[in-house]
C-alpha cells in the first residue's frame, strides 16, 4: 500500500463530510470539491524537485529554492474531474491541462471514451490525473492507460473518495502510479456506487440531477 496516500488532514475530513451530506447544494458542493483539490494538490506535489537559485532580497543576496525538473500537467476525467481543476490551478497556475472524456456504461460499468485532447508536449511532463471518484477503478485505469500512450512516464492519480475495489484495480493495472485519496470507503453497491460515498459526483457538481 506504499503507493496509496490517504490524506486524512482534519480540514480534508471536515470538507469531505460536507460533500457526503445529501443536503449540500450545487454551489457549496462545487466550492468544496475545488477546496479539497487545492489541499490535496499541496500534498501530491510534496516531492517536486527543487533547484537552488540566488535572489537579491532588499537586504542581501539569498540562496533560495525554486521548482525545477519536469513541468507538470493535470488531466481531469470528464465530467467530474473538471470540478477539481480550478482548485489545482490556485496553487500551480501555469500547469497545462489535458482532457479525457469517459463515462461509465450503467449496465456494464465499463468506461466509454468520448473525448481526448492533450497538450502537445505532454510526454515531457509529469501528470496528475484528476477524478473525484474511484469506484470500480475502470475509468481511472483507462485514463491512466491513455496518458501512458502519449509517452508520459510519471503519473499520479488524485481522487477525493475511493472504494477498496478501485484502489486494487489501479494498483494491479498500474503499479507504478501513486494514488492520492482523502478517504477510502467501505465498498461498492450493486450499481457500482461507493458506500457510503457521496452519490454521483458529476451530477452534484453540475446540478444535472
The residue ranges that bind ligand URA (CB under 6 A) are: 80, 133, 135, 192-194, 197, 200-202
204 is annotated as an active-site residue? no
Nearer to ligand URA, 73 or 133 (CB): 133
Nearest-CA neighbor of 162 among 149, 152, 171? 171
CA dihedral over 130, 80, 13, 29, signed as positive or negative? positive
Site for ligand PRP in 176-195 (CB under 6 A): 192
Instruction: Say whether 32 sits in a helix, a strand or coil.
Output: helix
86, 173, 178, 203: which is the annotated catalytic residue? 203
Residues 78-89, buried b or exposed e (16+ Cβ, 10 A)?
bbbbbbbbebbb
Residue 108 annotated as catalytic: yes
Interaction mask 109-128, ligand PRP, x per CB under 6 A: x-x-----------------
Confirm whether 136 is a catalytic residue.
no
Helical residues (DSSP H) of the chain, grouped into ranges: 10-20, 26-44, 85-91, 138-149, 164-173, 201-206
173 is catalytic: no
Rg (CA), the chain: 18
Whole-angstrom Cα distance, residue 209 to residue 174?
33
Q: Taking CB under 6 A as the criterion, which residues in 52-81 touch ligand PRP? A: 77, 79-80
Q: Does 30 engage in binding with ligand PRP (CB under 6 A)?
A: no
Q: In angstroms, rounded to a whole number, what is the distance separating the alpha carbons of residues 12 and 26? A: 19
Q: Which does 131 bind (CB under 5 to 8 A by kind): ligand PRP, ligand URA, none?
A: ligand PRP
Question: With CB cut-offs between 5 and 8 Å by kind, which of ligand PRP, ligand URA, none does residue 197 bind?
Answer: ligand URA
The grid coordinates listed for 103 are: 463515462
**Active-site annotation holder among 105, 108, 121, 176:** 108
Query: Which of 134, 147, 157, 184: binder of ligand PRP (CB under 6 A)?
Result: 134
Footprint of ligand PRP on this chain (CB under 6 A)?
77, 79-80, 102-104, 109, 111, 131-140, 166, 192, 200-202
- Annotated catalytic sites, by residue? 104, 108, 200, 203
Amino acid at each position: 500500500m506504499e503507493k496509496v496516500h490517504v490524506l486524512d488532514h482534519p480540514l480534508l475530513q471536515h470538507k469531505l463530510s460536507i460533500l457526503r451530506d445529501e443536503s449540500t447544494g450545487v454551489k457549496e458542493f462545487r466550492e468544496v470539491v475545488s477546496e479539497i483539490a487545492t489541499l490535496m494538490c499541496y500534498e501530491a506535489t510534496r516531492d517536486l524537485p527543487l533547484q537552488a537559485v540566488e535572489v537579491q532580497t532588499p537586504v542581501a543576496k539569498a540562496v533560495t529554492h525554486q521548482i525545477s525538473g519536469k513541468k507538470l500537467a493535470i488531466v481531469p476525467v470528464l465530467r467530474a474531474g473538471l470540478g477539481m481543476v480550478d482548485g489545482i490551478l490556485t496553487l500551480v497556475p501555469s500547469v497545462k491541462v489535458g482532457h479525457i472524456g469517459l463515462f461509465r456504461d450503467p449496465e456494464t460499468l465499463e468506461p466509454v471514451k468520448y473525448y481526448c485532447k492533450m497538450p502537445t508536449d505532454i510526454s515531457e511532463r509529469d501528470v496528475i490525473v484528476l477524478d473525484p471518484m474511484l469506484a470500480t477503478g475502470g475509468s481511472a485505469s483507462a485514463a491512466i492507460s491513455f496518458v501512458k500512450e502519449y509517452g508520459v512516464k510519471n503519473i499520479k492519480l488524485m481522487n477525493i473518495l475511493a472504494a477498496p475495489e478501485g484502489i486494487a484495480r489501479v494498483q494491479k493495472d498500474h503499479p507504478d502510479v501513486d494514488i492520492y485519496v482523502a478517504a477510502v470507503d467501505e465498498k461498492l453497491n450493486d450499481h457500482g456506487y461507493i458506500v457510503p460515498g457521496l452519490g454521483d459526483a458529476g451530477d452534484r457538481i453540475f446540478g444535472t440531477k
